[in-house]
Structure 1
Amino acid sequence: MSKVVLITGASSGIGKSIAEFLVDKGYVVYGTSRNPKKPLVNGVNFVALDVTKTETIEKAVAEIITKENKIDYLINNAGMGITGPIEETPDEEIKRVFETNYFGVIKVIKAVLPVMRKNNGGFIINITSIAGYMGLPYRGIYSATKGALELTTEAFRMEVKGFNIKMTNIAPGDFATNIAAGRYHSPIIENSPYEKKYRNTLELMDKHVDKGKDPIIMAEKVYAVMQEKNPTIHYKVGEFIQKFSIALKHILPDKVYEKMLMKHYKL
């Protein structure tokens, strides 16, 4: 029988690439979107799901179980970006991105675990970010959401091992997706003490995304990890310098690393 995969946020970007790749590999793929009425990705069965609304999660999972009687893989890809000086970022936007990038992921995992436990197995892959390994200026809230998910996965995977359920993180760097257009930007406020540095950093971040690699690379990595019988805890996918920056954080003194980041962002 074909393996059943549930991918959140599968209508665009990395999620879409993963969905298309797995369909080509013969998986039965269910993708989620808040508005799946229009055709989205060939070969993918779309269900309506908003990770911030528990009732839509439970309904979508129940629909898949009714049709397939199982979910073999869950790929938590849905997420949103956010930028801005933390002081000037509205509290409601901070809460909204945590609801999407962190609490939403936990809700989906909780909804899927009972059927995986019943079937004595499953594999959960959380798509995080290399930004989650360090506090990046003007992306501090985004870094916090992804860093929290990385650490939570470390604990969660130990709790579910006894049920033959595997869990891991895959952290991408910059990829050519529409995340820059879809993220929340705190407005650049005229005469703000952050105005010039925030504007320059925002332009630099957008250039990184525009020059990012093809998301098919992430799809290939996800597929490769899915084949592993004993996956490790953390995987990183991106430019060498992005992955190397994580290693440097563990090697360099904190202030030296901070100075390196500030130089990179011209702060």
Structure 2
Amino acid sequence: MAVATLPDQTVPIPVFERRIAANGAAYHECGKGEPLVLIHGVGMRLEAWAPQIEVFGATHRVIAVDMPGHGQSAPLPPGSDLVAFVAWFGAFLDVLSLDRVNVAGHSMGALVSGGAVAVFPERIRRVALLNGVFCRDTAAKKAVLARAASIEAHGIDVDGPVQRWFDDGEASRKPRALTRAWLSGMDRQAYATAYGAFAGGDATYAHEWAGVKCPALFLTGSGDPNSTPDMARQMAALTPRGVARIIQGHRHMVNLTAAEAVNALLREWLATPEPAS
């Protein structure tokens, strides 16, 4: 892992070496063992998983991937919906010859992970949704669709997400700076495509959880205003082997602001036995 530095010279930026798959997806791979695939959220890049890559690379074959149009991955066509992102992920597994994986997704990555276990469940050993959304209410749906519509006209809003995703505590200082840098470096069209799929995709696979047989973790922060604890609990209640875990005192980017607690819960999830075939 290389390290760059933000302009204020106080926050190092992790930069992981990448390979480019045949479908144009950029990814970082390390470690050996059961595959653990990590999918980040809108506006981020695979380095957003740095605390998890460093820990689980000692026990698993970790594969962190840049979403389409993020980091160094090729974009999907403008207007692509969540179904297209899930198909992209399936193609990524194909080109890496990954038959069965553990998959953890954050935010938009959680929606892709949920779609994956619904569409090709035989390929998913375990699924974890970090700060995932589920069937937004009318007010939340209206707000997220308005944010999606504003991107083409006004560009990428950096301040809004940072204010929603973090508090002002010391644990958030570095993640806030990193998040601001990653959002500021995004291509507008790629961001608009991903955010549009995120805004419109919260119900696409929402009714498939009852059929998911593998261990499923639904994790969020107690203060996340959009990927709420109630959403995590609702998904867990629908899923035969689902569990909800809430990180107290944290918001949206829990894998960065509460890395040790999140890693402990992911370790517990990865140790959960798969159902007998």
TM-score norm. by structure 2 comes to 0.40
**Considering only CA atoms, is the larger Rg found in Structure 1 or Structure 2?**
1
